[in-house]
Structures are given as structure tokens and as C-alpha cells.
Amino acid sequence: MSDNPDEINQRLQRLRAKAEAQLAKVEPEKEPPSALDTDELLRELHVRQIELEMQNEELHRMQVALETSYAHYLELYDFAPVGYLTLTAEGMISEINLTGAKLLGMERKHLINRCFARFIDDQDKDRWHRLFLMMMKDTVGERQCFDLPLKRADGATRHTHFDCLCWAGDNAASQLRIILADITQCRQTEELRIAAIAFETQEAMMVTDASGVILKVNRAFTETTGYTAEEAVGRMPRILKSGCHDADFYAGMWESLQCTGAWTGEIWDRRKNGEIYPNWALINAVKDNDGTVTHYVAAYVDITDQKAATDEIERLAFYDPLTELPNRRLLLDRLQQELVSSERRGLTGALLFIDLDNFKALNDTLGHNKGDLLLRQVARRLVSCVRENDTVARLGGDEFVVLLKNLSMDVGEAAAQAKISGEKIIATLNEAYQLDGHEHSSTPSIGVVLFNNHEHPADELLKRADIALYQAKAAGRNTLRFFDPKMQSAIEARVRLVRDLRRALAEKQFRLYYQKQVNCNGQVIGAEVLIRWQHPERGLVSPLDFIPAAEETALILPIGQWVLETACAQIKQWENHPQAGNLQLAVNVSARQFHQPDFVRLVCNEIEKFAINPSKLKLELTESLVLDNIADTILKMKALREIGVHFSLDDFGTGYSSLSYLTQLPLDQIKIDQSFVHNIGIKPSDAVIVQTIIGMTKNLDIEVISEGVETKGQRDFLELHGCPLYQGWLFGEPVTLEAFEKLLR
């Protein structure tokens, strides 16, 4: 008997029709039959009843067969090892079996009329769209097979083989029947096979779990490190740690692994025998479908030979073989870079051309071997005289060059810095040398040239330094000369200035001048103390002429301490003065002075020493000082503010003004810089800046004072816009103590 459901249904229909026809024939007639007819009729009915029962039995058997066949069909369709589904011309799922629904990760009832493309990964959607259009267009009856990953409803990816056939349905609309086969496991097996082959390469490889415990190493790992698989598995990669890298190095490595899933770079490891060697490493994080790291795979290439070869090539190309210092080529390269950098940053650099005096006589008397020994010792001494980022090079023979970087922006100060370095070199090279039992003395001559832009090429700078070197030799050797004669004069003048400053401290040649500060009614409310130098020969010297030199040589520290001490003493003397008893003295503090670790203690000592009211002392700080180390500044200011010392922010607006730090600093006052006040009525933008500063201080509840007020117009403008305090020549120039007290009277 056929198991085809359609044939079974047709046979059942025919049997039902036949049974109904026979039943129709046995309906009773309207007139009662005779006895003979009745017997005949009963016999016929009996026969037909038997036939009907046989037909019903046959019908039952066929119904059972149909249900069995249908169940078998459902089992074959729904639980097939592959997924079956049908797509409409619009790409919607119209039919799907249970296997297909399971593959897509959703219940079948939720898949009907859903767009199939949603289960295609974004990066493959364009490919699927092209394939779908191609199969639905003029390809009825043609099979198309291809592999494509499917993205399940839960986000997991399954590699799938597609077997597609386009056909026309009952309504003549084209549909796409697809057979889906899950080939993920086969794919993974193949990938594992390939990975296993790749794992046993010539590169050392290591696999760890997510916590870093070693799970597997290959043969190359054992050959490179000396650790067998049994010794490595179960331990941490730190068994290879060389100690050559700091914590920041490993922090950067882990940050890269966490952010990008990979890290590559040079790393120094330690073999089992203790030997340290360089590796080029590539580490990858392995993640599951949820993005969670499950393993780390590291590949290492021992680059000892390559690095040694590279280092040797570089050494031969860029370093002097005798002294191992940079040669002329490397010096010119670094000088070129520094020329660009100095122009961009505004800093000054210097070239020191050094030649050993009478070196030829040493070679002629003791031989070239002793000369080579001297050159190597000179090289070591030169390196010890400069900073780490400076360059010491040997041009050849007994000629050396020192490149000093990042000197002061001020050319005069940069020249002084270069001179200090040159004198240190001269003193160091003047010390006796031991040349294989022979004590030898040698002196250098040094030519110096400064640069702070890209105006002259590197070769020209070397030529100028060489010219200065000959000037040094002409001056008697064992000395230093600058290329620019004017610069040489400036250096000598600066040396004299520093010498005189030291004498001024010892002989108490400094004086304090006082310039009054007044309110809008003209009442004196305080004064700023300003230092002057009463030079025995040059007369009164402005601070602009000597403060920079004092800052550079650290003489500003004792000078600043003298100013603070003198101001505190004056506050004490005025304690009972009828006009000066309530005045506040403002003292300027330099950056170098303020950033002393014990600055707070030094101020407190002076206050306690003279037993003064701390609120009578006001310290003026510049914006650049405040911003140099904002955290340290706030700590010191708060400590002094707690005992009553007041603070004023001097030259406000000329530096890197920032509202953010103004809200953090315990300021009592802001002083508008005189450059803005001077331009009131001349430069509208400066007048706007002044108004802005005044308004800002009001909002911040900080007192404001204007310095450099010289005209009544400036004063009226300031008062009109709400500035209540003034300082300037309109009210009085800086004067001596005696003159100031006379003004008060």
C-alpha cells in the first residue's frame, strides 16, 4: 500500500462516496412490501451490512495508515538534521521546520513573516542581498550553494551552509526554498587543526587562561627559554621577567590588551639559565561570543642577533669607534633637530667647540697609544659635565663638540648658562690624567656660539664655534670665548654684576622704597615695598637690572628673605604710629623663593620674631608663580592664610589667567596690571579687559586694586567702573622710608 498522503485521501473519499450511495438504496419505500419481498430485502440488507462493515474496517485501516504516514512525514520534516525554510519574494519567512527555528534561536511561531535578513551579520548583509536578488531573478529551478555565517537571536554566530532553490508556488509567485546545514563544529575542527599546525612553528608560543596561568607552550618556547612544558604549564609568565621594565611598561601593555585586544613590541625576557635577551612579542586576547576574555596567546621571536647587528651598524655609522661618542654625522642630525625645536619653543641652545691644548706634543712624546687613552678619558669627563639630554660628540683628532639644549629664552641668561657649563668643563679637564702609569696634565680651549632660531644652518654654527675657539687660543688657551664679541662683553658685565650683588648683600647696600596705595577718597590704606640697590659706584640701580641675575644665581633667596624681614620689622615699628599703625605692607615674592620647601616656616618665623599682626602683611604673587605648581601653591597659601597673612595676585591679566584657579586660591586681592591701565583711553580693548577684571572680582568677592595709575582720566575711569583702590604716580612715586612717613604726616 502506498504511503503517499494524497493517494490515501483520494481512496478514502471514494470509499465514503460508495458507502453513502449504498445506504441511500436501502431507505424504506413509501408502500409496505410483501412478506416475500421483506425476506428478500432483509437478506440483501444483511449482505450489504457485511460489505459495509468490511468497507469501514478497510477505511479504519487506511485512516491509521494515513496518520502513521503523516507522523512519519512530520518527524522527517520537523526533526530533520538540517533546517528547511521558505522565503517569499520579499525575503520574509513563510515556512520553517523546527531544526531551522532552533538554528535561528527563536520559536517557529515568532519566525513566520519575519525578515530573514535580520539573521545575517551586518558585515555580510550586502553579500546576502546580492545573492538573494540573483537567485530570485530568472533562476527558477537552479540550485545555489554557498557558506554564510548566521547571527542567532541571542547574538551567537553559527557557520552555515546554504542550499537554495527558487520555485514558483501555487499562486505563481516565486519563493526561495533553503536547506540550512550547521557547519560550525566542522569549521572549528578545521580551525583547530590549522591552529595546531601553526602552533608548532619556529616562533616560541604560549597560551594562558584569562588569569595568566600558562596552559600550553610549544617546542620553540622550550628551545628559546630553556623551560620544558612540564616546568612552564601551571605557572605565570613572570618566570620570564627580566627586571628591565618598570611598572609603567606593563601597565601600558595591559591597557593595550584591554582596549584593543592585542599588544606588540620589544620586551626583554630572562631564560632559565639567567641570560637576558630581547624578544619581539605579539600578544592577542581570545574572547568568547559574549566578548569575555578566555585566553591569551603570545608569540615571541628572539631578536638578539638582529638587534646586535642593528646596533653594530648604527654604532659604525653614527659613533666614534675610539670614544664611543656620537660622530659628526649624528651631531649634525641632532643639531638640526634642536634648531627646529628651539625655533618652535623659543628656547636658546649653544654649541661648545672644544680643542685640547698641545695635544700633538703628547702624541709626539708618549706615542699615539697614550694619546688615545687621553681622548677616551676626556670623553668620559665631558659626558659627566653635561645633562643627560645634551650631546657630547667627537669630530676627530682632539676636537670635541658639546650641544647644550633648552637654555633660557633670554639670550643673556642663555649665554651665562653656557659659560657656566664651559667653565665646569675647563675645570674638569684641567685635573690630572693617569695614562698607564704616566701622569699627564691637559687644558682645553673652548669656542661658544648661541642659537635660538633656524637662521643659520648647522655647518655655519660649527664654523662660528670654531672661529670662537681660535679666539680662545689666541687669548692664551685654557679659556672660553663667544663668537659674538658683544656677547663676550655682556657675559663679562654679568659676571661683574653677580660679584657686586654678593658684595651688596654682605655690605647691606639694598634699600626699601615705599609706594602708597589709596582708596577712592585718597586715603592711604597701605604701601608696596620695592627694593632698590644703592651701588657705591653706579648709584641707584633699578630691580629690572639685577633681579634676573639674582634669580638665576639663587641670590634671590637671601635678597627676598632680607626684604621680608625688613618689611616685618617696619610693620612692628609702625604698630603705634598714628598715621601708619593700620597700614598694610605688600611684599613681592619670587617664584624661586615661594617654592622653597620651608617657605611657610620662614614667613612664620619672621612674624613670630617681630610679634606683628599677620594681617598687616600682604604677599604679592605673580600668575606664573601660582601656576607653576598649583597644588603646592594652594597648600602654602592656605597654611599662611590660616594665621592671617593676606595674598594679592600681581600683574593679573598678563599671564595665563584662568577662572578655575582663581576659585581655588585663597586670594584677598587682585592687582590689575599697569599695562592695561596705561592704555585706558588709548586702546579700547584694554579698557574692556579692565572692566571685565573689575566685574569678575566683584562676582568672586575679591578686592581689586589698579597699579600704574598716572592720570586723573585713568583714575576717573577706574572709579566709574567700580575699582576702589589705586596705586601709581598720580598718588605718589616710590620713595624712601623717611619721605613716605613725611607724606603720611
Residue 68 has pLDDT above 90, yes or no: no
pLDDT digits (tens, 9 = 90+) for 331-375: 999 999 888 888 778 888 999 999 999 888 888 888 889 999 999
pLDDT digits (tens, 9 = 90+) for 370-390: 999 999 999 999 999 999 899
Domain boundaries along the sequence of the chain = 5-77, 83-187, 204-308, 329-483, 498-744
What angle do helix axes 630-642 and 599-610 make, rounded to 10 degrees?
Answer: 20
- Residue from 511, 571, 569 nearest 543 by CA: 511
Determine the average pLDDT of the residues in 542-559.
89
Helices vs. strands in the chain: H and E counts, helices first: 27, 26
- What is 498-744's CATH number, 3.20.20.450, 1.10.150.120, 3.30.1950.10, 3.30.2420.10? 3.20.20.450
- Give residue 1's pLDDT: 44
The pLDDT-based confidence of 192 (bands split at 50, 70, 90) is low
- Give residue 558's pLDDT: 95
- pTM across the whole model: 0.46
Q: Are strands 174-182 and 157-168 parallel, antiparallel or unpaired?
A: antiparallel
With contact defined as beta carbons under 8 Å apart, do 735 and 704 qualify? no
Residue 86: count of CB within 10 angstroms of its CB: 16
Give Dmax over CA atoms of the chain in angstroms. Answer: 173
- Give residue 31's pLDDT: 54
Arithmetic mean of pLDDT over the chain: 86
- Give residue 702's pLDDT: 92
Q: What proportion of the chain, given as a percentage, has pLDDT over 90? A: 49
Would you state the cell numbers that stand for residue 26, as one nine-digit string?
436501502
Q: What is the DSSP string of 558-609?
A: HHHHHHHHHHHHHHHHTTT-TTTTT-EEEEE--HHHHTSTTHHHHHHHHHHH
Within 8 A by CB and 6+ apart from 15, the residues are 55, 58, 59, 62
More confidently predicted of 31 and 319: 319
Range in 55-64, 190-199, 410-419 the model is least confident about: 190-199
- Give residue 331's pLDDT: 92
CA 186 to chain CA centroid, nearest Å: 44
- Give residue 160's pLDDT: 92
Determine the average pLDDT of the residues in 596-608.
95
pLDDT digits (tens, 9 = 90+) for 324-336: 999 999 999 999 9
Q: Are strands 584-588 and 617-622 parallel, antiparallel or unpaired?
A: parallel
- Give residue 119's pLDDT: 93
CATH 3.20.190.10 fits 204-308, yes or no: no
Residue 17 has pLDDT above 70, yes or no: no
- Give residue 398's pLDDT: 92
Determine the average pLDDT of the residues in 47-61.
74
Residue 660 has pLDDT above 80, yes or no: no
What stretches of 432-513 show up as alpha helix (H) in DSSP? 458-474, 485-507
CATH 3.40.1710.10 fits 329-483, yes or no: no
Determine the average pLDDT of the residues in 705-733.
94
Class of domain 83-187: alpha beta
What angle do helix axes 599-610 and 556-573 make, rounded to 10 degrees?
Answer: 30
Instruction: Confirm whether 83-187 and 498-744 share one CATH topology.
Output: no
The pLDDT-based confidence of 80 (bands split at 50, 70, 90) is confident
Helix or strand holding residue 538 (H, E): none
More confidently predicted of 251 and 172: 251
Would you state the cell numbers that stand for residue 273, as one nine-digit string?
639559565
